Amino acid sequence: MESPYDAVLGRNAAFDNGDIAAVLAPEALDAATALLRAAISDDGPDPAAVHQVASLRWRRAQARPGATSGPDLVFCHELFSKLETLAPELVPTRFSTVPAEGAPAEWAVDAATLLEYVQHSGDDRALDWAIRLLRRALATAPQADRWSNLSTALRHRYDRHGNESDLTECVDAAETSLVDIDGHHPDWAACMGNLAVALQTRYERDRMADDLNRAIANLEATIDEDRDPLDAAIRLTNLCLARHDRYLARADPADLGASEEAGRRALHLIGGHPERYSVHSTLGLVLHTKFESTNAPADLTEALQHATAAASAPAEHPSHGRFQANLANTLRTRFEDDGDLDHLTASINAGRSSLASNDPDTTSRLNNLSLALLARFDHFGEIADVNEAITHGELALAGLGPRHTDYGPCATNLARAHQTWFAAHVADRSAEERRGHIDRAVKLATDAVEVTAHTDPSYAGRQANLGISLRYRFEALGAEVDLDAAVAAATAAVGAVGPAHPQRAGWLTNLGNTLRVRYLRREDPADLDASIAAATEAVRLTRPGQADLPRLMSNLGNAHELRYATRGQRRDARTALRLWGAVANSAIAPAGIRVEAARVRARLALAIGQRRLSVRAYTEAISLLPLASWRGLRRASQERTLVRWPQLASDAAAVAIIRHRPRQALTLLEHGRAVLWAQLAAARIDLSELAATEPDLAARMDSIRAELDQ
């Protein structure tokens, strides 16, 4: 029987005689593995055996084209590195650490191959070897292209692991690559482009405007669409991102316009090249941002088209997770605009898909999924969505320093999640637990504002978020310092955006709500009038059919009712009734908002003597209860929803009796009771005991049950 050593030796010899299949066959790796196992002894590995296995892996690398040789190339470098400590005379010059003639060029070639392989595989071992080989080559024979490749490799490692020394060395290497060359050198454009990307990466960490300005200048100086369309498309894509980043920092419309133009030029040049997915994703991101500035539905529609095209990339694409995350974010925005639940469901699915990728950069993906889950809670009231949003939000924020570019958005959205939990648990949690959540929300929202420049387009939203957190804490604890700070933050949010800004309506509503709360505390009529003025302007700025309109109308109705209660002007009462009626009949409003609008409409109608309208509104509220407590919710969430309106049926019946309609009163009571009976009939087996012993099975059963309820 042939020994493992002879089997590998024979395959190496066959390759040398022209039989490539001898080393590429699966049996070749089996033989190499068997030989390595046999070569290990108490005295250490047999150098001759290690040499034969390493040689076989090198021959496999030679036989495979380009990046496909990556795994074998990594393996043979590792084996020859170990062999150098055992028998250096057996190590070829290509794999030796001792410089020899031609070795630096071979090291650089292998490093370039490994870099190409890393971009498709994300293999950390290959990346480390690429960096090691480039450093080795540069120590002996420094060249511009090698410095530039080292910069690229270090940037990839920084992106994956966040080691700041890698980023520092990355920028230094890119700067060094340009020291001895000028615009006539064949590598000048590539080195300038790599320096631009390195500077963009450092800008994302440090937010130094000079880095971003230099990156933009470098890219604009090196784009030559006639010389190399593919290279120009890649540079234009990077320019698109850089201009987009500068727009986010300075809010200069010229940057956003230039960003969009660069993205469209890149898409025109890229054709069917695999890089087209990245171009689609980048252009979609820019158009998404443009929509947030213009509120033009056409921009959002096109952004979604590009995000969808990017997400169609094969699952093995190294940026597949990022593309799915961008799609999820755009779908969530579409849902927020049109209220179509299919868009929200698709957003959550894409968000979960983005987390399934191998890309270690999950911060923004966790953050986006958290936002989508909060949006679903706002619509259906399933508290599990809030809990999951907090979990994802805490994971996203973990390890981020205040200077990190993702810190502000992650802190803001996690604050929102804690706010939402606090508001959802009014009576079923201890005061201490609720205090912990709202204090955490205020701290996170404050931190987010403190790290955000006043010129940043996100500044207004973060001030508004802080105002909401402070208002919630005031309503729970009564500290007037929180109330004044909430008004100041809400005012700052409105003041930070222009009259045509698409988010202005939301910030005005927050200001109106906060002023209304302060009026209830201090009874200053100016606060109530200012509250109504802000809420009225918010409704005026919101186009019909926009998903947020029912909430804004409901808030305005609340303010008018309060003014009616304090001043007795029936015009305010009529306005409130009209607004709440529109909300209760809205097809896009969450069911809970519709129920509450119908209920308060019924109550106010009774107060002003419109008993028939009161009964009609109560009837409408009761008819909406099944939608608010639908079977897709877990039982605890159903109960939490229904406990908001414990007297609804009896109040409705009371009005019917006042109108001398006893049969109608009985019908209303029966309808209310039917909701409770339906909930009881749908009661499920408690899975808590099963979860304690078989958690995976319990989770699977609960998941299937939830799917069936859809």
Q: Is residue 465 part of a domain?
A: yes
- The confidence score (pLDDT) of residue 680 equals 47
Confidence of residue 227 (pLDDT cuts 50, 70, 90): confident
Whether 560 is in a domain gets the answer: yes
Residue 400 lies in a domain: no
Residue 553 inside a domain? The answer is yes
Q: Say what the pTM is.
A: 0.76
Is residue 107 within 8 A of residue 136, CB to CB? The reply is yes
Length of the chain counted residue by residue: 710
Residue where the block lists tokens 């003025």:
533
Q: What is the pLDDT of residues 58-67, one digit of tens each?
A: 999 999 988 8
Do residues 283 and 266 touch, judged by C-beta distance below 8 A?
Answer: yes
**How many structural domains does the chain have?**
1
CA–CA distance, 644 with 501 (Å, rounded to integer): 35
Any domain includes 311:
no
Name the residue among 156, 149, 95, 163 with its Cα closest to residue 124: 156
Asked whether 326 and 285 are in contact (CB, 8 A), the reply is yes
- Evaluate if residue 681 carries a pLDDT over 50: no
> What's the rounded Cα separation, in Å, for the pair 135 and 147?
9
For helices 124-140 and 70-86, give the axis angle rounded to 10 degrees. Answer: 60
596: burial class by Cβ within 10 Å (0-12, 13-18, 19+)? buried
Cβ atoms of 410 and 434 closer than 8 Å: no
Residue 14, domain member (yes or no): no
Paired tokens of 556: 């305005």
Calculate the average pLDDT of the chain: 89
> What amino acid occupies position 173?
A
* Segment 646-672 mean pLDDT: 84
pLDDT bucket at 694, cuts 50 / 70 / 90: low
Q: Can you tell me the distance from the alpha carbon of 414 to that of 499, in angstroms, rounded to the nearest whole number?
A: 28
- Residue pair 242/212 in contact by the 8 Å Cβ criterion: yes
In a domain, 167, yes or no: no
Residue 318 pLDDT = 80
* pLDDT at position 159: 85
Average pLDDT of the residues in 196-212:
91
* pLDDT tier at 698, thresholds 50, 70, 90: low
Residue 339 confidence class, pLDDT cut points 50, 70, 90: confident
Cα 602 from Cα 576, distance rounded (Å): 11
Asked if the model's pLDDT at residue 162 lies above 70, the reply is: yes
DSSP 22: H
Measuring CA to CA, which residue among 82, 88, 84 is closest to residue 36? Answer: 82
- Provide the pLDDT for residue 705: 54
Q: What is the pLDDT of residue 225?
A: 78
Decide which of 429 and 229 is more confident.
229
Residue whose C-alpha is closest to residue 539's, from 481, 568, 493, 578: 578
pLDDT of residue 639: 55
User: 580: number of CA atoms within 13 Å, CB side?
Assistant: 30
Q: What pLDDT is stored for residue 137 in this prediction?
A: 96
What's the pLDDT at 358?
64
Provide the CB-side half-sphere exposure for 30 (13 A, CA): 4
Burial class (CB within 10 angstroms; exposed 0-12, middle 13-18, buried 19+) of 69:
buried
Cα 627 versus chain centre, distance: 30
Q: Which of 221-225, 298-302, 402-406, 557-561 has the lowest mean pLDDT?
A: 402-406
Q: Which two tokens stand for residue 191?
A: 């080195």
Write down the pLDDT at residue 39.
Answer: 82
Residue of 187, 93, 174 lying closest to 140 (CA atoms): 93
Domain membership of residue 467 as a residue range:
428-709
User: What is the secondary structure of 513-549 as a DSSP string?
Assistant: HHHHHHHHHH--HHHHHHHHHHHHHHHHHSPTT-TTH
Distance, in Å, from the CA atom of 236 to the CA atom of 265, rounded to the nearest integer, reads 7
What's the DSSP call for residue 68?
A: G
Statement: residue 116 has pLDDT above 50? yes
Q: What is the 3-state secondary structure (H, E, C) of 568-612?
A: CCHHHHHHHHHHHHHHHCCCCCCHHHHHHHHHHHHHHHHHCCCHH
Amino acid 402: pLDDT:
81
Task: Decide if 521 contacts 528 (C-beta within 8 A).
Answer: no
- Specify the pLDDT at position 679: 54
pLDDT-derived band at 431, boundaries 50, 70, 90: confident
Least confident of 54-68, 175-189, 547-561, 675-689: 675-689
Encoded tokens for 704: 């299937």
* Per-residue pLDDT at 505: 93
The answer to whether position 363 is within a domain reads no
Q: Of all residues in the chain, what percent carry a pLDDT higher than 90? A: 66
The CATH number that applies at residue 625 is 1.25.40.10
pLDDT higher than 80, residue 51? yes
Label residue 430 by pLDDT band (50, 70, 90).
Answer: confident
Looking at beta carbons, which pairs linking 350-357 to residues 24 or more positions away fall under 8 Å? 350/311, 350/324, 350/325, 351/324, 351/325, 353/321, 353/324, 353/328, 354/321, 354/322, 354/323, 354/324, 354/325, 354/328, 355/321, 356/321, 357/320, 357/321, 357/322, 357/324
Cβ partners under 8 Å of residue 226, min gap 6 = none
Q: Of 598, 597, 594, 614, which is closest to residue 606 (Cα–Cα)? A: 614
In this model, does residue 399 exceed pLDDT 80?
no
Rg for the chain, CA atoms, rounded: 32
